[in-house]
Structure 1
Amino acid sequence: MAPLRGRIVVVTGASGGVGRAVVRELGRQGAKVALIARGTTGLGAAAVDVGVEGGSGQVYEADVADYDQVRQAAERIEAEMGPISVWINTAFSSVFAKFTDITPAEYERTTAVTYLGYVWCTKVALDLMKPRNAGAIVQAGSALSQRGIPLQSAYCGAKHAIKGFTESVRTELLADHSGIHITLVQLPALNTPQFDWVLSKLRRHPQPVPPIYQPEVAARAIVYAAEHPERKEYWVGIPTVATLLAQRVAPALVDRYVARTGIASQQTDEKSPTGVANLWEPADDDTDYGAHGSFDRRSHGHSPQLWLSQHRGPVLLALAGGAAAATAATVAALRRRT
């Protein structure tokens, strides 16, 4: 894929959190960004951010849980901005609560936004990209797509579904020898406003499971994936790598560990916030929440693992070269001794 400068990139969930950080990063790349979300205040502020960073942005209000709204927004984007090159899905909502405390309507709504939102957006993107046989779709995933934790059954279920859905679509594209790529970026715990605006039934304020990363780390990974979508999956952050590998090697042990630590580690000592929840209505119609949540002091702004992942070819070559040089030096030393 070519650099993103001047290309049309769609971002869902663009008004806050990871999506907000992504559109800023795209602005720095000089992209033309179509911003999709529900909250008008956050969307407007996000479009300004794109322009400040050097790109251009246009706002398209839509609920990703509604296929017709997504389709209409995409048709407007292509009519007003041009053909879509990249589609990035980050939109989601959820409920912080034990499974037995979540109502059927709340569970259904979470699934409609967080899982079916990706399905509808992917379908619309593919319908538009297929005639051109070119494009990229980037799905913002999570370490929780392969390892469920307590208090987030609706979110974990949706992220598991996104992984399976994306793998299925990828194999269909490969079978068709398509020029369209789809990739998944597995993210760690992030300092986003979700812990202030997602519906919570907990007695204490929800928090990301430490260690926590800033949303800009996720944004850099997602934009890199948009430029290099041929890789099927990216893992971001050491905690993501450790979680996914541990789940493969010793899932029963991980079950017991998460059962013992997972509830306390997702709550602060403060009382749970009340009055704000974006499950049914946008939380940012009157307030711009931005990209960051309440945990700046505890969050990491960089991930060495991400850099290594993005440069694994040169790193492996350097390691191989170093090993070869060390071997040659050892052989030469042994020859001198004999």
Structure 2
Amino acid sequence: MAVRQKPVEEQVIVITGASSGIGLATAHVLAERGVKGLVLAARNEEALRAVAEELSRGRTRVIAAPADVSRREDVERVARTAIDAFGGFDTWVNDAAVALYGNLTEIPLEDQRRLFDVNYWGVVNGSMIAADHLRRRGGTIINIGSVLSERTMILQTQYSASKHAVKAFTDGLRMELENQGAPIAVTLIKPSSIDTPYVEHARNYLDRESAVPAPVYDPHLVAKAIVFAAEHQRREITVGFGGWVIGAMGKMAPRLMDRAMEWTGYGLQTTDQRERPGMRDNLYQAREDGDMYSSQPREPRRTSLLLEAQLHPFVTATVLAGLAAGLAALLIPPMASVRRRRPSRSPSSRHQPTVRRTGNGHDKRTLGPGHVSQRGPSEGRPQPRH
């Protein structure tokens, strides 16, 4: 069955992890577009209701649905909230995630399990519940993965592993739904380093404050990709060329990338500041939210040519073809001129005789095509005087 995706202005959209970062940026962009309805889910009820109140001042109806995505019953309650308020939903965005920094041998196993409960099983819970509802009306499931699903980042091994799992699950879900003829589009968004409160929310077992490697991109770029995927069927969208390069290099030269990460991984993911004592992360408990950006001083990139190329591939191909044609038009005339000016042999030189010695001691003189003469050893030479 064909997938039909409505304009976002006609859609009801559910977003998990909506109280900060990418989820919050996406909620703002959708509200500005005038989406029909928003159901926002996160653990921090106070921050979530503040966001819902702010966004409800426009023409969009926004409902807060507090939930921990690692608990299936919480996710089911989010879906029921959307159904009760709007009669259903059209797009479901799985964005909620937590993070860990540190060496595997130093991170307690319960923390690693908790990360998978949120990052992987939270996506599974949301996707399966959304798919069950969308089978009847059609729509879109958007899972927020990471470029680290293509290349593991040292000191973020379990986060990378969870995003590998999200990618595998998303690919499998897409194939199964297509095979069953379900009218559901499934898209994986893979952000690079994004300027969100990621490091403020991450549990850090390093001796210095954590950081995300440069270049860093604005969360509104990820929001743009999410909104696009809600209206256009896409398999994957990568946000940020910097992260894409890491994945590509990891495939072309995996051992070299291993060594590069071993040499630079700690320095790229820490600051000069000592880590402050005491856990201030959101691994188990929600912390103060409502921030879209990180508190670390840096200027994020607000454009991504790679993203634009993926969102508008035909326009990109046309532009590249035009540039290639223009470049050819500039280069071909000079090259042709060079060929015309290349020195050539004069007609007279083409008929200058060439001489080669034959086996019988005679010279064979070639004057040109069809002109051959022979002479003996002494013919044409001065004879000695007697």
TM over 0.5: yes
Structure 1: stretches of 5+ with no match in the other structure: none
Residue aligning to 2:228? 224
Q: Deviations over 1:73-102 (max 9, x none)?
A: 211211112211000111001221111111
Asked whether the equivalents of residues 209 and 271 of structure 2 are also in contact (C-alpha less than 8 Å), the reply is yes
Task: Give the drift of 1:186.
Answer: 0.8
Give the root-mean-square deviation of aligned CA atoms: 2.2
User: 142-151 or 43-52, which moves further after superposition?
Assistant: 43-52
Question: Residue 198 of structure 1: CA displacement?
Answer: 1.8
Structure 1 residues 326 and 280: CA distance shift in structure 2, 3 A: closer
Deviation at 1:298? 3.1
Residue 241 (structure 1) aligned with residue 244 (structure 2): yes
| Shift in Å, 1:110 | 0.5
Are 1:170 and 2:174 counterparts? yes
Superposed displacement of residue 58, structure 1:
0.4
Secondary structure of the 1:72 match is helix
Q: Which has the larger radius of gyration?
A: 2
1:278-297 matches, within 5 Å, as 278-284=282-288, 288-297=289-298
Q: Secondary structure at the match of 1:231?
A: coil
Task: Measure, in 1, the Cα distance between the counterparts of 2:109 and 2:164.
Answer: 19
Distance 2:312 2:297 in 1: 28
Go from structure 1 to structure 2 and tell me whether the alpha carbon gap of 1:323 and 1:265 turns closer, same or farther (over 3 Å shift).
closer
Q: Does structure 1 conserve the Cα–Cα contact (< 8 Å) formed by 2:51 and 2:290? A: no
**Which residue of structure 1 lines up, in the alignment, with residue 148 of structure 2?**
144
Supply the AA of the counterpart residue of 2:8.
L
Where does 1:43-62 land on structure 2 (aligned, <5 Å)?
43-52=48-57, 54-62=59-67
Q: Which amino acid aligns with 1:251?
A: P
CA distance in 1, matches of 2:39, 2:256: 44
Please identify, of 116-125 and 70-79, the stretch whose mean Cα deviation from structure 2 is larger: 70-79
Letter in 1 for 2:248: L
Structure 2 residue 158 is the aligned partner of structure 1 residue 154: yes
1:3 corresponds in structure 2 to: 7
The TM-score with structure 2 as length reference comes to 0.81
Residue 67 of structure 1 is matched in structure 2 by 72
Instruction: Tell me if structure 1 keeps the 8 A contact 2:13–2:93.
Output: yes
Q: Secondary structure at the match of 1:300?
A: coil
Decide whether the 8 Å contact of 1:65 with 1:113 is kept in 2: yes
CA distance in 1, matches of 2:100, 2:15: 23
The answer (yes or no) to whether the contact 2:48–2:290 under 8 Å persists in 1 is no
Give the alignment's TM-score, normalised by structure 1: 0.92
Q: Look up the match of 2:106.
A: 101
**Equivalent-residue separation in structure 1 for 2:17 and 2:143 (angstroms):** 12
Q: How many residues align?
A: 332
Q: Does 1:81 align with 2:86?
A: yes
CA displacement at 1:295 relative to structure 2 = 2.9
Are 2:129 and 1:124 aligned? yes
**1:250 Cα deviation from its structure 2 partner:** 1.0
Alignment partner of 1:10: what SS?
strand
C-alpha displacement of 1:320: 2.5
- Which structure features the higher share of helix residues? 1
| 3-state SS in 2 of match to 1:178 | coil
2:153 partner SS: coil
Q: Give the residue type in structure 2 aligned to 1:71.
A: E
Letter in structure 1 aligned against 2:88: P
CA distance in 2, matches of 1:301, 1:100: 37
Cα pair 2:142 2:226 within 8 Å, conserved: yes
Q: How far did residue 325 of structure 1 move?
A: 6.5
Shift of 1:111: 0.3
1:206 aligns with 2:207: no
SS in 1 for 2:23: helix
Give the whole-Å Cα distance in 2 for the aligned partners of 1:7 and 1:113.
Answer: 26
Alignment partners' CA distance in 1, 2:235 and 2:45:
33
Alpha-carbon distance in 1 for matches of 2:171, 2:38 = 26
